[in-house]
Amino acid sequence: MAENTSFITLEESLARKLYLDWRRRNAVEIVTRAARLGNAGEWSAAKRAVKELSFAATIEANFGFIEQTSLKSYLLGESFFTEGRVKDTLLARGDEPIPLGVTLAASTMLAGLEQSIRRVQEQAMLVLDEAEAEETQAAEEAAGGMVVLKAVIVGLASKLNTAVVSGGAAIDTAANLSTSRLASFGALSQAQQNGQGRFQISEVLDRRTCAVCRRMHGKIFSVAPALAQTEEALLTSNPMELASSNPWPSTSRQGITDLTSMTDEELTGKGWNKPPFHSGCRGILVPVGDVGASSIISFVPLATGLTGAEAAAAEIASATS
Ligand SMILES: [Zn+2]
């Protein structure tokens, strides 16, 4: 699984760099300021402060690094179809210009993150609303002579910090989806150029592997439709639009049952023919035959009475026995 590992390393180093940069450049200062203003009872100023939470400066400062990682992800994907040799890939040999989907990856990532930051702001706003309500209530009780205590907002900074940590999850998602799509894009471009009409999906099989990916491991699909879909996804500048036109496969029991019975044509129609199958997906595309037949799980309907985790453990055990 060396190939999956290098893809995961790329994605994690991108996510970590962006997250640390965002904390240093933006998040920590704003959380500190909003907490100080809140503790001083200046609630509207505190709320104005959390509106300043933004990924924009981080993306701008790291544009070159994101472009580099995008290029590496694409090259890595191509190398899955050149027996792991990067120097033999189309791009490294100068046989193709840098594709638009790669060039635009940093801007697409920024568009996605700008939507996510609004949810982070809303969560921080909720923390401030609750703290303000608590303070008002304490002040009223004090005025009524019930309690003579200055309202102390316990742990406001730590609550704000927790709300803001969800920004880290947004960065993880954006980094994963971007690198995963670019690796698939590279793999498909190289496969097409090689004249290989089909590819196989290779997943990491461990206890974290979801029911969707366990079913997709080893499956074989056509290159042409997958290449067109991946290219389109990379050129979609509005990630919300993408989320509504290409929903992820459902991991509910019913969703998994349906997925198991779908034909390859149906899966292709839904866009569920190549990774990513969700954010955080570790699947990659490899030449047909690279996935050992013994590691492919043959699925029987999920046994009743098992929890999702128990069913997963049973499936993995049968795959690795
Ligand atoms: Zn999965």
Q: What would the two tokens of residue 51 be?
A: 């509106």
Element (H, E) at 302: none
10-residue averages of pLDDT along the chain (321 residues): 76 94 95 93 95 94 94 95 94 92 89 89 94 84 59 75 88 91 96 97 90 93 96 78 76 87 94 92 94 75 59 66 54
Beta bridge pairs of residue 285: 201
User: What local confidence, expressed as pLDDT, does residue 143 receive?
Assistant: 72
Question: What is the Cα–Cα distance from 74 to 102, expressed in whole angstroms?
Answer: 7
- Provide the Cα torsion 20, 60, 127, 278; round to 10°: -80
CA of 259 from ligand 1 middle (Å) equals 13
CA of 177 from ligand 1 middle (Å) equals 12
Q: Is 276 helix (H, G, I), strand (E, B) or coil?
A: coil
DSSP state of 202: E
CA of 278 from ligand 1 middle (Å) equals 6
Element (H, E) at 286: strand 284-287
- Provide the Cα torsion 222, 281, 239, 256; round to 10°: 70
Half-sphere exposure of 105 (CA within 13 A, CB side): 32
DSSP 31-85: HHHHHHHHHTT-HHHHHHHHTT--SHHHHHHTHHHHHHHHHHHHHHHHHTTTTT-
Q: What angle do CA 284, 271, 67 make, to 5 degrees?
A: 55
CA-closest candidate to residue 6, choices 298, 314, 284: 284
Place of tokens 């899955």: 80
> How many other CB atoms are found less than 10 A from the CB of residue 143?
10
CA of 135 from ligand 1 middle (Å) equals 44
Question: What is the Cα–Cα distance from 209 to 270, expressed in whole angstroms?
Answer: 21
Half-sphere exposure of 228 (CA within 13 A, CB side): 5
CA of 41 from ligand 1 middle (Å) equals 46
Question: What is the Cα–Cα distance from 296 to 257, expressed in whole angstroms?
Answer: 18
Question: What is the Cα–Cα distance from 190 to 265, expressed in whole angstroms?
Answer: 22
CA of 283 from ligand 1 middle (Å) equals 8
CA of 207 from ligand 1 middle (Å) equals 11
User: What local confidence, expressed as pLDDT, does residue 257 receive?
Assistant: 86
CB 194 within 8 A of CB 85: no
DSSP state of 228: H
CA of 277 from ligand 1 middle (Å) equals 6
Place of tokens 């933006």: 26
User: What local confidence, expressed as pLDDT, does residue 318 receive?
Assistant: 64
Half-sphere exposure of 259 (CA within 13 A, CB side): 24
User: What local confidence, expressed as pLDDT, does residue 89 receive?
Assistant: 95
CB 247 within 8 A of CB 194: no
CA of 209 from ligand 1 middle (Å) equals 5
CA of 145 from ligand 1 middle (Å) equals 58
CA-closest candidate to residue 227, choices 192, 178, 277, 267: 192
CA of 214 from ligand 1 middle (Å) equals 7
CA of 299 from ligand 1 middle (Å) equals 16
User: What local confidence, expressed as pLDDT, does residue 45 receive?
Assistant: 97
CA of 244 from ligand 1 middle (Å) equals 19
